[in-house]
């Protein structure tokens, strides 16, 4: 079970790339190689995953990029027991990870806080925790968390939290399994996560105001702004630095948006 490191994308979506510093250029070829490896490995499991969805969630198929209105009826015979068991499992996951109407995590002072300041800071962090859960309650978190848990029953679930609006402070989305490519690090934990999907070209700068469009994308934006193009969002871990968020066009390998890890020496 893995939660998507792209949850941190809320910090990146409206952020302008920082000043140049001692960071390496993002390696698009390496990223595409990792995606290709995952796609090849995934072929060994796709049929089993499809069968699992057909048996326990016959009205939900997140592995394939299906068109709106396309029939998702199961291709296999099933009875109601697997469906009920799946719903019970989803409820257990939600209850264990993000129980409704409860504060299932808390922001607390770190161990480095001086003892004489800890009480005052604790009051502040308790208020922040309260505000965070108020924001989550005003978002689609519960609905999207259920969708993520539905994928976790089969394999891996992904949840992305973006900066929202005044009415909906957090924009929460469960990302379909078929769009996401998690890559294990040397310790067996998920280090890099790629999301490959199609996006309307006119939405690119709306999502990332500081994005730099390639010549190809700029031409498409001018001539066919409603056309959808394939993008890759990459959340990659750089040792001793942290996570890097990059968006690139896999067609011509052009980097559209890149936020390197924060410099640990910066205030």
Conformational region of residue 253, where left means phi above 0, alpha means psi within -120 to 50, and beta covers everything else: left
Are the C-beta atoms of residues 165 and 206 closer than 8 Å to each other? no
pLDDT value for 239:
86
Distance CA 221, CA 213 (A): 9
pTM: 0.75
pLDDT one digit per residue (tens) for the chain, 267 residues: 334 444 434 444 544 554 444 557 899 999 999 999 999 988 888 888 888 888 888 777 666 654 444 555 555 555 788 888 989 999 999 999 999 888 999 999 888 889 899 999 999 999 999 999 999 988 999 999 999 998 888 888 888 888 888 888 898 999 988 899 999 888 888 889 999 999 999 999 998 999 999 999 999 999 999 999 999 999 999 888 889 999 999 999 999 999 998 754 443
Q: How many CB atoms lie within 10 A of CB 234?
A: 27
């Amino acid at each position: 079970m893995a939660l998507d490191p792209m949850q941190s994308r809320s910090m990146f979506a409206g952020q302008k790339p920082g000043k140049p510093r001692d960071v390496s250029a993002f390696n698009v070829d390496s990223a595409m190689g990792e995606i290709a490896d995952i796609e090849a490995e995934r072929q060994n499991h796709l049929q089993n995953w499809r069968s699992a969805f057909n048996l326990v969630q016959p009205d939900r198929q997140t592995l394939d990029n299906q068109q709106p209105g396309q029939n998702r009826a199961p291709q296999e015979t099933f009875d109601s027991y697997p469906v009920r068991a799946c719903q019970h499992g989803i409820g257990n996951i939600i209850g264990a990870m993000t129980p409704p109407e409860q504060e299932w995590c808390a922001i607390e002072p770190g161990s480095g806080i001086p003892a004489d300041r800890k009480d005052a800071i604790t009051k502040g962090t308790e208020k922040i925790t309260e505000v965070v859960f108020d924001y989550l309650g005003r978002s689609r978190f519960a609905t999207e968390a259920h969708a993520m848990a539905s994928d976790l029953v089969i394999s891996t679930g992904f949840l992305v939290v973006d900066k929202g609006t005044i009415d909906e402070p957090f924009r929460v989305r469960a990302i379909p399994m078929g769009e996401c490519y998690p890559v294990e690090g040397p310790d067996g934990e998920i280090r890099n996560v790629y999301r490959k999907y199609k996006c309307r070209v006119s939405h690119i700068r709306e999502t990332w105001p500081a994005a730099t469009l390639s010549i190809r994308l700029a031409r498409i934006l001018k001539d066919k702004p409603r056309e959808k193009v394939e993008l890759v969002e990459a959340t990659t871990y750089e040792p001793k630095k942290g996570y890097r968020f990059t968006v690139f066009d896999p067609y011509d390998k052009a980097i559209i948006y890149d936020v390197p890890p924060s410099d640990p020496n910066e205030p």
